[in-house]
Amino acid sequence: MRMLSHETKAARTDLPKPTDATNAGATTAHPRGVRKWAVWTFKYGILSLGAVIMILPFADMLIGALRTPAERLARPPVYWPTIPQWHNFIRAFTDLPMLAWLTNSVIVTGSITAVQLATSALAGFALAKYRFRGRNLILRFVLVAQIFPFFLFIIPMFFILRYWPFAGGNDWLGQGGTGLLDSYLALILPFAVSWYGVFLMRQFMMTVPDELLDAARIDGASEFGLFWRIALPLVRPGMVTLGLLVWIYHWNEVIWTMTVTRAAPELQTVTVGIQLLRSEFFDERNQSLQQAALAVSVIPVIVLFLCLQRFYVRGLSMGSLKG
């Protein structure tokens, strides 16, 4: 019996103590928690820094719109306005044709966005889901056409619109008038097709299963019905993504609009109007008014992006997964 009790005590002494195991686990978990916290802090610190860098120009524009002319002319300059001049935003509508500029911007940008979405989606569906002779050649042309910037075609496009037959007083030879220059069509037609939009929608249309389209064909669906009822709803995030990109680009477009609307100031958009205001009436005393007009012009883009943000993020993730 003494021998048995001695062996039992020896076996008990060989077993690890619970307190030792707990302490060992705590010591191993502690560095892991510190590492996770450090990674979290670094990641969100970088994101916060990027957000501040992106917001800083807009904040500077808003603060600049609230300064008085005396604060702008002061040396050293005054950054924070003593009394915010909120009436500068009212002056943007009373002293400037801001409402007409915004209306023209909405009409032109909305029309271009709608037309580009239609042409890009239809062409992308055809290139992705149909097998026909010359498809690969067309796709290569779409890819190559993206390397040429639009300003290379400004002069030939201007003359095409200028000598458009039976428009703006022109005869059948395109002589005698101004063609399509003094109209909204001159601002919309050159951007009816986007090579980047065609390629982007082709990539999204590739994600639509062919089996689903074949099943719809067996049920008697037309080819346009396949596009409208099946393919288009499945690529809605891609449509929203392309629509936002097109809207932002053409809302800020200046070169072509300024070229076409020189003789038709009633067609000027908000970006062109502010640019001409800056170049023709440049004065430090008017910079607050100019920055107030710029702040007003940015609001529609911000509101549209915030409303469609979830579709935009989903569309980017779908495109990245497609690769």
322 pLDDT band, cuts 50/70/90, is: very low
Burial bucket for residue 239 (CB in 10 Å: 0-12, 13-18, 19+): buried
Residue 2: per-residue pLDDT:
47
Tens digit of each residue's pLDDT (9 = 90 or more) over 189-246: 999 999 999 999 999 999 999 999 999 999 999 999 999 999 999 999 889 989 999 9
DSSP assignment of 152-207 equals GGHHHHHHHHHT-TTSTT--TTS-SS-TTTTSHHHHHGGGS--HHHHHHHHHHHTT
Distance CA 82, CA 73 (A): 14
67 pLDDT band, cuts 50/70/90, is: confident
**Summary mean pLDDT of the chain:** 84
Distance CA 206, CA 139 (A): 13
Of 16-25, 139-148, 276-285, 287-296, minimum mean pLDDT range? 16-25
pLDDT at residue 320 above 50?
no
pLDDT at residue 6 above 70?
no
Mean pLDDT of the region 170-180: 88
Residues sharing a CB contact under 8 Å with residue 275, sequence separation 6 or more, in sequence order:
254, 258
321 pLDDT band, cuts 50/70/90, is: very low
Mean pLDDT of the region 156-164: 92
**9: enclosing H helix or E strand:** helix 2-14
3 pLDDT band, cuts 50/70/90, is: very low
Of all residues in the chain, the percent with pLDDT exceeding 70 is: 85
249 pLDDT band, cuts 50/70/90, is: very high
317 pLDDT band, cuts 50/70/90, is: low
Q: How many residues are there in the chain? A: 323
What is the set of domains in the chain, with CATH numbers? 91-322 (1.10.3720.10)
Residue 275: per-residue pLDDT:
84
Distance CA 185, CA 159 (A): 14
49 pLDDT band, cuts 50/70/90, is: very high
What is the residue type of 120?
A: S
Residue 209: per-residue pLDDT:
92
74 pLDDT band, cuts 50/70/90, is: confident
pTM (global) more than 0.85: no
pLDDT at residue 285 above 70?
no
Tens digit of each residue's pLDDT (9 = 90 or more) over 100-153: 999 999 999 999 999 999 999 999 999 999 999 999 999 999 999 988 888 888
